Amino acid sequence: MGKVMFYHLTRNPLEVTAHMLLERAYQTGWRVTVRGRSDDVLARLDEMLWSRDKAGFLPHGLAGGADDADQPVLLTTDHACPNSPACLMVIDMAEATPQEALGLERLWVLFDGHDPAAMDKARSQWKAVAAAGVQAEYWSEDSGRWQLKAQSGG
């Protein structure tokens, strides 16, 4: 059974936290699907992943190509996960269900702590995960570094 990890972004932009988690997953050998709602947000993340220094490069691709199934990191707005991921990262208030977490190593929910709509969405996702009895963690960077603030289920 997987674990859902909520990341409350208050200091670093989405791209910084996403890169940190994606790099860890890649080093572990996990494939990841990144699900967003906006092509613009995914394009911005794609650009950052391509333009980082060579030491920070992560192999990845935007969904819709012939090699989607082979991508270690696949960026998409779709619910399909053709790269058979061990992890799913949802950004930009994208949908994810507690049931999806059950077949994964990790389901990461990254949300903007300065956006009331994103906060509300994350709260409703947390409640759904807790009600389903799925293990969840809530991480905050308010202190300047990531700290575990709450746990649920599992």
pLDDT in the model for residue 51: 77
Place of tokens 């699900």: 35
- What is the domain-level CATH number for residue 76? 3.40.50.10110
Give residue-wise pLDDT tens across range 40-65. 999 999 998 887 656 667 899 999 98
Could you list the residue range(s) of the whole structural domain that residue 79 is in?
3-152
pLDDT, tens digit, 9 for 90 and up, residues 77-119: 999 999 999 999 999 999 999 999 999 999 999 999 999 999 9
Give the CB-side neighbour count of residue 98, counting CA atoms within 13 A. 16
Residue 39 vs residues 36, 42, 148: alpha-carbon distances, Å: 8, 5, 31
Mean pLDDT in the chain?
93
Number of domains in the chain: 1
Task: Specify the pLDDT at position 121.
Answer: 97
Taking 90 as the threshold, does the pLDDT of residue 1 lie above it? no
The reported pTM is: 0.94
As given in the structure block, the two tokens for residue 74 are 């696949």
pLDDT at 142: 85
